[in-house]
């Protein structure tokens, strides 16, 4: 048992600015919203507001739903920034520049209405062309940039040619139009849509390493191009018309260029015959590994850019691809197959790591099983130790009412709740080795999970009752309570007052009447609510709906309490065994996996009445 908060107390203690920040918790440093409800109404201003070369860790910017019509650059001195869209399809960054546009200097400029009309009328002939590499919608020069859940589009072809989708006529002479231009190293796009026509994504800079995970990328000709080393995983690459998917220009001394791993190539109805790629420069390297290829892929697969000499250096590979376009019988002779050993060696760390610059890539969702063993291995096979009360200070502060609790991060000693918090924080923050208490992403998510609305204040701001822990973290969007969807689930309502009725068990409450009043207020609110639970006699009936890594809270029949224990569903092999409980056990004295299945574990505890089940929102 731990935690709680009083809304009235917070309103009294926090300034208006602090309260506004508290409404979004600690997960985001800034919020962009078109309607003015955030810190900024455009993305560029938010990026500009981040401290240059900020040393304190990653900075996270939430971008609310809306269409942001702007040209954005992340400068080299703005590092470790993450843009997070509220919704991938409804959070849209869009601009309309293209290579043949002219300005006085040849550099892109924000257009006036008159300039825009001149371009539409075909009159914008004066000045110098801005060229392909200035046509971007988003340019990334800042090290460690990440973007997720957003659409980034350069719609120049359709914007300047009315009715383009029906006519497919480029009467305005629109040229290359880059949606995303990346020069920086260690860049990740996760669950994004990258939309364009010719030259959609420019992976610039020889020494840049980039990841595109679960992304949708569309275009016409050479729409993924450049010299960077890039890992594409579970992406959809969509051809709008006939052309070339890739135009790599990998340096000869780089072992890898583009790796498409378990991706799916799709095509518009008018894209009936296109190539997987052509070498923009000698030594171009592209691998399609276990990808799905449509019938519209040309039988020869690859093109030499009308230069037979490039066939001698181009490094084009395919391995175990599927679909009608994966037929290799008529492929060009200078494409070859990966061997089984080469394919086994084709891992993100292998492709992206550099001897001079290690990059602990964490672009996927963190693996629940691996995270558990990361905790376990910290103690060389003994398991992370159980210890109650790690959040409580050795000495109480002089002013309990107005003090702010430190954010305790004891990853070596845990109770059931802190273990759940640390594991959840690692999964939500995609932290692969959750053993560093100073990891800024771990700290952010632990604070959000532990304190109401992520706002850390005095003792009463902790969510002591696990029912409140569930509802508040669900309200923050961190997880979902799925109990109501489970078989045999039923509603329950209980009187919750254990802490206030037993204040002598809690040193802070014993020493402060004002904190007791806050606890009583929260207890009244919890007592007025009902919640869904699965009675312990029916737990075996819900096995089919449980997932490995779901959070399990054990409801209680003890007077005044709601939940007395928590852990995770441990079920890595559903085909061969039943789910068990991964938890910090006071009986075992460490983090352990129950020796019996989940239902049997619950049945063995007299005070257990059933379970509630939560699932983290990991996308």
Annotated catalytic sites, by residue? 199, 222
What is the distance between the alpha carbons of residues 393 and 408, in angstroms, rounded to a whole number?
Answer: 10
Q: How many helices (H) and strands (E) does the chain have?
A: 16, 35
What element of type H or E holds 17? Answer: helix 16-24
Token representation of residue 440? 């800024």
Name the 3-class secondary structure at 518: helix
The candidate with the shortest Cα–Cα distance to 408, out of 389, 433, 385, is 389
Token representation of residue 148? 């997720």
34: left (phi over 0), alpha (psi -120 to 50) or beta: alpha
Q: What is the dihedral of CA 103, 109, 110, 112, to 10 degrees?
A: -20
Name the 3-class secondary structure at 445: helix
Token representation of residue 515? 């904190």
Residues 6+ apart with CB under 8 A from 333: none
∠ CA 79-84-89, nearest 5°, is 140
Contact 346, 261 (CB under 8 A): yes
Q: What is the dihedral of CA 304, 305, 309, 315, to 10 degrees?
A: -50
The candidate with the shortest Cα–Cα distance to 28, out of 180, 148, 191, 189, is 148
Token representation of residue 469? 């822990």
Q: Work out the angle between the directed axes of helices 466-475 and 513-527 (0-180°, nearest 10).
A: 70
N- to C-terminal Cα separation, the chain: 30
**Cα four-point dihedral sign 353, 311, 292, 227:** positive
* Helix ranges, 55-200 (H): 113-120, 156-160, 164-167
What is the distance between the alpha carbons of residues 379 and 561, in angstroms, rounded to a whole number?
Answer: 33
Token representation of residue 278? 């052509």
């Amino acid at each position: 048992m731990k935690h709680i908060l009083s809304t009235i107390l917070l309103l009294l203690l926090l300034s208006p600015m602090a309260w506004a920040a508290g409404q979004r918790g600690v997960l985001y440093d800034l919020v962009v919203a078109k309607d003015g409800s955030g810190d900024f109404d455009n993305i560029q201003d938010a990026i500009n507001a981040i401290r240059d070369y900020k040393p304190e860790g990653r900075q996270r910017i939430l971008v609310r739903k809306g269409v942001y019509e702007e040209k954005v650059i992340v400068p080299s001195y703005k590092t470790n920034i993450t843009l997070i869209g509220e919704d991938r399809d409804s959070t849209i960054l869009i601009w309309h520049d293209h290579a043949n546009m002219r300005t006085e200097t040849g550099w892109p400029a924000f257009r006036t209405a008159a300039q825009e009309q001149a371009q539409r009328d075909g009159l914008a002939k004066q000045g110098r062309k801005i060229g392909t590499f200035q046509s971007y919608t988003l340019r990334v020069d800042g090290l460690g940039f990440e973007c997720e859940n957003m659409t980034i589009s350069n719609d120049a072809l359709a914007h300047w040619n009315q009715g383009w989708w029906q006519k497919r006529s480029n009467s305005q002479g629109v040229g290359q139009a880059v949606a995303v231009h990346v020069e920086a190293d260690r860049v990740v796009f996760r669950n994004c849509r990258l939309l364009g026509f010719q030259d959609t994504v420019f992976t610039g800079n020889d020494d840049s390493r980039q990841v595109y995970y679960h992304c949708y990328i569309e275009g016409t000709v050479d729409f993924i191009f450049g010299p960077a080393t890039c890992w594409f995983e579970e992406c959809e690459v969509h051809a709008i018309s006939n052309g070339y998917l890739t135009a790599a220009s990998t340096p000869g001394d780089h072992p890898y260029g583009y790796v498409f791993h378990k991706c799916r190539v799709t095509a518009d109805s008018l894209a009936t015959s296109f190539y997987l790629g052509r070498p923009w420069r000698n030594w171009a390297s592209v691998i399609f590994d276990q990808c799905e290829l449509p019938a519209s892929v040309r039988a020869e697969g690859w093109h030499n850019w009308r230069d037979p000499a490039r066939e001698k250096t181009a490094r084009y590979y395919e391995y175990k691809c599927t679909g009608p376009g994966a037929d290799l019988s008529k492929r060009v002779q200078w494409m070859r197959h990966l061997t089984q050993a080469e394919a086994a060696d084709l891992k993100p760390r292998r492709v992206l790591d550099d001897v001079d610059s290690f990059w602990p890539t964490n672009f996927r969702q963190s693996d629940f099983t691996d995270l558990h063993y990361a905790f376990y291995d910290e103690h060389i096979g003994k398991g992370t130790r159980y210890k109650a009360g790690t959040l409580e200070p050795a000495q109480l502060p002089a002013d309990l009412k107005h003090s702010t609790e430190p954010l305790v991060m004891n990853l070596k000693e845990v109770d059931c709740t802190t273990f759940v918090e640390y594991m959840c924080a690692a999964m939500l923050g995609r932290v692969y080795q959750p053993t560093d208490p100073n990891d800024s992403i771990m700290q952010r998510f632990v604070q959000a999970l532990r304190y109401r609305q992520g706002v850390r204040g005095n003792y009463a701001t902790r969510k002591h009752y696990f029912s409140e822990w569930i509802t508040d973290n669900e309200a923050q969007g961190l997880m979902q309570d799925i109990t109501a969807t489970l078989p045999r689930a039923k509603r329950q309502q209980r009187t919750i007052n254990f802490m206030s009725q037993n204040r002598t068990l809690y040193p802070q409450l014993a020493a402060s009447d004002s904190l007791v009043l806050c606890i009583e207020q929260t207890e009244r609110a919890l007592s007025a609510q009902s919640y869904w639970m699965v009675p312990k006699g029916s737990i075996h009936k819900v096995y089919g709906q449980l997932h490995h890594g779901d959070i399990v809270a054990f409801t209680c029949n003890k007077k005044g309490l709601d939940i007395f224990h928590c852990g995770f569903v441990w079920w890595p092999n559903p085909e061969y065994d039943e789910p068990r409980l991964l938890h910090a056990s006071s009986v075992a004295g460490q983090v352990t996996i129950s020796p019996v299945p989940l239902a049997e574990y619950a049945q063995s505890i007299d005070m257990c009445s059933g379970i509630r089940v939560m699932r983290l929102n990991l996308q």
